[in-house]
Amino acid sequence: MSVAVSLENVCKVYNKMPVVNNLSFAIASGEMFGLLGPNGAGKSTTIRMITTLTRPTQGRIFVSGYDVVRQAMEVKKCIGVVLQQISVDGDLSVWENMEFHARLHHIPNPERQRRINQWLEYVELSDRRNELTKNLSGGMKRRLQIARALLHQPQILFLDEPTVGLDPQTRRRLWEIIRDLNKQQGMTMLLTTHYMDEVEYLCDRIGIMDSGKLIELGTLQELRSKHGEGLVMKQVGERWEYIFFPKLEDANAYLNQQVDKTGLMARPSNLEDIFVELTGRQLD
């Protein structure tokens, strides 16, 4: 399988302080890759380097075979970016936002109009094409950002916390759009998010960063197999302690052996358990 994104011993230093430290990983073409880490772990800086917005201090990054430093313009043609911040122009209509962005990419007519219509229909905004963007809901604005990022037909889509601040129903609808782009249309994606259920539902593989380093990498099942598929929660004062076991059956057996089961509970482990075990703190 071909490689869509590759980082080789990448470092980024600000004021003599390493923000990203010797980072190496690869994302396969067509893969949905989740990048997790607590605040300050270096995720945003990593995304900025991959998308050509920040120059790495050392190391090399390739996107679709292009070097992000030496061939930045070629990289930009290959990628679409959906930022956490709402970045559409509220004083323009939905259609005008799309038209303006398509012209920036020098997409000629009538192809430009075909793509605008195609992606507005895909994100279910065709009936809002003439409405001012500032009148849209948060979920609609996020869907417009996705449609806009797809206009130039990128090979790789970067999603930086795409569902933050949205209600559960809108989050689920965006999940379906993202999943369809990846599974049905084969688009490579890199997702950062603070929602563990989002990663569990969407991502093929997961990378966990802390203090600028990649501390874990694998599928959810690989991470659970490595760290423990079962755990026992033990209440100690006002906090919980977690004891991992290879299998849920082992956790249940441990629980059954305890004479006093007060404050004890066995259950399957999940991604959040593993994250907290690795980083020592909650994601947000």
Per-domain boundaries in the chain: 3-222, 229-268
pLDDT-derived band of residue 39, with 50, 70 and 90 as boundaries?
A: confident
Residue-wise pLDDT tens digits, 187-232: 999 999 888 999 999 999 999 999 999 999 999 999 999 999 999 9
Confidence of residue 284 (pLDDT cuts 50, 70, 90): very low
Give the C-alpha distances (Å, rounded to integers) separating 56 from 7, 34, 48, 98, 273: 10, 21, 9, 31, 32
CATH class, range 3-222: alpha beta
Q: Which of 268, 273, 279 is nearest to 242 (CA)?
A: 273
From its phi and psi, is residue 24 left (phi > 0), alpha (psi between -120 and 50) or beta? beta
Single pTM value for the model: 0.90
* CB neighbourhood size of 91 (10 A): 9
pLDDT exceeds cutoff 90 at 7 = yes
How many Å apart are CA 233 and CA 266, to the nearest integer? Answer: 6
